Amino acid sequence: MKVTVVGAGAVGASCAEYIAMKNFAAEVVLVDIKEGFAEGKAMDLMQTASLNGFDTKITGTTGDYSKTAGSKVAVITSGIPRKPGMTREELIGINAGIVKEVTANLVKHSPDVIIIVVSNPMDTMAYLVHKTSGLPKNKIIGMGGALDSARFKYRLAEALECPISDVDGMVIAAHSDTGMLPLMSKATRNGVPVTEFLDAEKQAYVEEETKVGGATLTKLLGTSAWYAPGAAVSVMVQSILCDHKKMIPCSLMLDGEYGQSDICLGVPAIIGANGVEKIVEIALTDAEKEKFETAAKAVREVNGDLKF
Ligand code: NAI
């Protein structure tokens, strides 16, 4: 099956690389607006095929969406990352225009496509795709929770001084420094609540480092991260193409779930061949409910800056 990745920059190329390395897709089409860029990234990646042992065909195009026709999944990574001194409104203005145009092109050539939205501010960009694409809501999935949960597990394992494969945990609500909600009450180490191992101070450290995980990397790298975002997307794409029905926290259009409607927020969901197969409602503590509501309020304010 064919997967399109729009934006052949840091995150888009990483998505293409992880998808190809896992060898579950027939073809990955990279699209970029920069002349020759997607073609170059595709060629470079294809020259790793014999070295890394994958058969996925990777092609690139400068904006020719006819090459994306018949895609089962399309990933939108096109847009600019947040830079110091830039207002939220400016970021939304630039990325919303790009995401809207890209969505129209994708749907024109692949009317049954499932779209994974990565561009930031992601919860608002996912909302924009819902409002402009005409696609059913099970076919639009924002990527944030998969990445933030991986960062949560990284920090949990660090604090517990144990292998990452021993820990489990999930981050829901908004994909933002303040709106992320790492569910400490439900995190486990081999089935045992982590709260039995970590005191309040260590729990607060893990939560805070998870929430600023992206900002920490942006400071170190001078730009936002790409390996973990690309890997997170590849897990979501694989769950759709292989119908794995994995439970993954994603930014989804809510219709009463978690007490919210007409907003995209991170919640756990079963992701399979039909895209979003089921939103899973887990019981939140009163404190978690309050944080979820605060995150929703902040995302609604950003959504208010959208112009359709
Ligand atoms: P980048 O600058 O490396 O790549 C973006 C690419 O999009 C560039 O190659 C650019 O030429 C291309 N592009 C711009 N307009 C386009 C258009 N109209 N059509 C096709 N291509 C177009 O940026 P990077 O680091 O890859 O980040 C991409 C986006 O992903 C940013 O908005 C960033 O904030 C977001 N992001 C989201 C994450 C998440 O968890 N949801 C994680 C990491 C990044």
pLDDT digits (tens, 9 = 90+) for 229-287: 999 999 999 999 999 999 999 999 999 999 999 999 999 999 999 999 999 999 999 99
Query: Which sequence positions are flagged as catalytic?
Result: 175
Give yes or no for residue 88 having a pLDDT over 60.
no
Predicted confidence at residue 202, as pLDDT, reads 98
pLDDT score at 246: 98
CA distance 263 to 249: 15
Residue 90 has pLDDT above 80, yes or no: no
- Tell me: pLDDT of 19 over 80: yes
Phi, psi of 249 (to 5 degrees): -70, 125
How much distance in Å is there from the Cα of 101 to the middle of ligand 1? 14
For residues 163-175, give the mean pLDDT: 98
Helix, strand or coil, per DSSP, at residue 237: helix
pLDDT above 80 for 86: no
Question: How far, in Å, from the CA of 123 to the mean position of ligand 1?
Answer: 15
Cβ count within 10 A of residue 249: 26
Write phi, then psi, for 62 (nearest 5 degrees). -90, 85
ipTM: 0.99
Cα diameter, the chain: 55
| Nearest CA residue ID for atom 4, ligand 1 | 9
The model's pLDDT over 193-225, given as tens digits with 9 standing for 90+, comes to: 999 999 999 999 999 999 999 999 999 999 999
The b/e string for 38-61 (b: 16+ C-beta within 10 A; e otherwise) is bbbbbeebbeebeeeebebebbbb
Separation of alpha carbons 4 and 68, rounded Å: 6
pLDDT for residue 116 is more than 80 = yes
Q: Which atom of ligand 1 is nearest the CA belonging to 225? A: 43
